[in-house]
Structure 1
């Protein structure tokens, strides 16, 4: 939480790995296309909601988290973010620069790197989105969270569509406070009508039960 007006992360102490905010559950919908991603990058740690959820429910996935603010990283123990190990690492640095180090590497890049001033400019440029395309494996997906207060959303969406050759869909949460943009390095989004109405075979029942209500709202 960066101010009394805007909540960017929230944790249930009784279930610290749960996705408490609806927009985070929507972001995880990339799993409908790839239930067992090999490697994920996250731009922005925040309270660690996405990182903790993926760490718990995707035990064979390698997860890299890029966080520019050392003070946010210093709070990782408070938010029960797991320690670095062989498949999980929090890397301090500018995600817009760090993503450039990777080529054809990630099955998903999740962009939720807000600070007290909103979404940093370097995470909204055409160059950044181009670098995300380059970092993604074939059919990999970038997922970006945009808050409704972002007056540059239209321009960002146009840049994403250009970088990803139009392979883009938008999903709003029920409060219309967030727009989640899915952009694919390939054409799997064009087959959205074929999304599974039942649990994907490679997805655990626990994960499916946690995400299914949100997924159904997207599929109808």
Structure 2
């Protein structure tokens, strides 16, 4: 058996190795492209459609032109050159990827096609070059049967692609940042080029390999200074679910998920509400007949745990938090003063899964798991709303933090979610957090009680009750919208969330901060 394995290993030729590595790199870059493009253009089905389409088109062009030139130009030196030039482009992505990404936002394209120029510019050229590898390798194969040689070469490339897909998804992304993953692929290409050149390469070929290696190291070093536009980077990683960054700017520590601000903490006053919208989390204590009746609260989505930490410190209630990303939980404990206690418990699970499996009931469920560009559709449907309704007590409330616009095309997701909640709950109240129809946080409260709570009642209760924060400004945003008719009712079998989010692509998201010295900021 050992002899057979050794014979197989000796039969692996340099062109076959190049094909295998090109498969690893092309599929690895395709998986990585989603993480690179998402902060600017979102992570919708349209973004992934653009990525898949561009990679297939670039590979096809590479196969076509590589096949036409292979008979005349294919040799080991040119094969190595293709690998090195691809590695140089990877270095460019590491060094200037963000600049290139931002430069593509000037194209006046419909929102669903907005990511296409970025994917073409950033990933089209290296994928095109990698497409040359297989036909060159097939021509260099020692097998005289063309069909057999081609089949073998493309099988080797496919195996490499499988390894690249699984390795990037399950190994590299959970452990390394985007630049470091790109660096790994660049080094792999350079090393493979050196192997392809053989034991006695020309002096200029050796110089080229060394030079590209230096360029890769320099590119990675240029991006490792620990500072970004967000401030001083305290921590950065790729989780299985998203890019995560913690950055300090002034006295504020901010959690970025997928390149977007998600939570913030005043480092001197950790329970102060830095973002205006988090103040609205306290409104259910005015909607309740007796605020002391809110004994059990569930937060679906943790982030920086702003709401749960404040609730645990402020109220005599048991707080449960369910967060699907274990790295978010770990980072919140290390960087955002999250401490579990008898009245604050954190569960690592999906929100819907948790509600389905638990037998507990809650007086308030806070749904804080939506992003501007990425919304788990399973937490938006009428079936989910019914599940949440069953897990609420008789006077319980569902609170949803929705990122959308109050009206206009960019408000389609809000209107669809409003309609879906109204199909389950007798009363639905809306609190836009900003004037106008800009994309913003819209706070929606759905109650099991059919009795309407008026704006004047909320004002009176705000004056009479001590809920730890003055909500007078928030109450002024009180709105009761008419049932929307231009959007679908979201169901498990039809929840076109990506289409509803599409009009928000490229729109400015207004996220207001409270004044640090303002006592009413809580």
- TM bracket, shorter-chain basis: 0.7 to 0.9
Q: CA RMSD in A?
A: 2.3
Pick the aligned partner of 1:162 from 419, 423, 428: 423
Q: Which runs of 5+ in 2 are unaligned?
A: 1-255, 405-409, 480-522
Between Structure 1 and Structure 2, whose CA radius of gyration is higher?
Answer: 2
CA distance in 2, matches of 1:172, 1:140: 22
Q: Which runs of 5+ in 1 are unaligned?
A: none
Instruction: Establish whether residue 131 from structure 1 lines up as the match of residue 394 from structure 2.
Output: no
Q: How many residues align?
A: 211
Instruction: Establish whether residue 50 from structure 1 lines up as the match of residue 324 from structure 2.
Output: no
SS in structure 2 of the partner of residue 76 of structure 1: helix
How many Å apart are 1:125 and its aligned residue?
1.2
Preserved CA contact (<8 Å) 2:298 2:364? yes
Deviation string for 1:133-177 (max 9, x for gaps)?
111111211000111267532222111110113x10111002551
Equivalence for 1:172:
432
Instruction: Please show how residues 34-183 of structure 1 align to structure 2 within 5 Å.
Output: 34=288, 35-36=291-292, 37-58=294-315, 60-77=316-333, 78-83=335-340, 85-102=341-358, 105-114=361-370, 117-148=373-404, 151-165=412-426, 167-174=427-434, 176=438, 177-183=440-446
Instruction: Establish whether residue 184 from structure 1 lines up as the match of residue 440 from structure 2.
Output: no
Preserved CA contact (<8 Å) 1:17 1:53? yes
Moved more, 48-57 or 22-31: 22-31
Pick closer, same or farther for the CA change 1:158–1:115 going to 2, 3 Å: closer
Question: Normalising by structure 2, what TM-score?
Answer: 0.38
How many Å apart are 1:213 and its aligned residue?
4.2
CA distance in 2, matches of 1:22, 1:105: 29
How many Å apart are 1:90 and its aligned residue?
0.3
Preserved CA contact (<8 Å) 2:297 2:365? yes
Richer in helix (by share): 2
Instruction: Establish whether residue 212 from structure 1 lines up as the match of residue 471 from structure 2.
Output: yes
Richer in strand (by share): 1
Preserved CA contact (<8 Å) 2:431 2:474? no
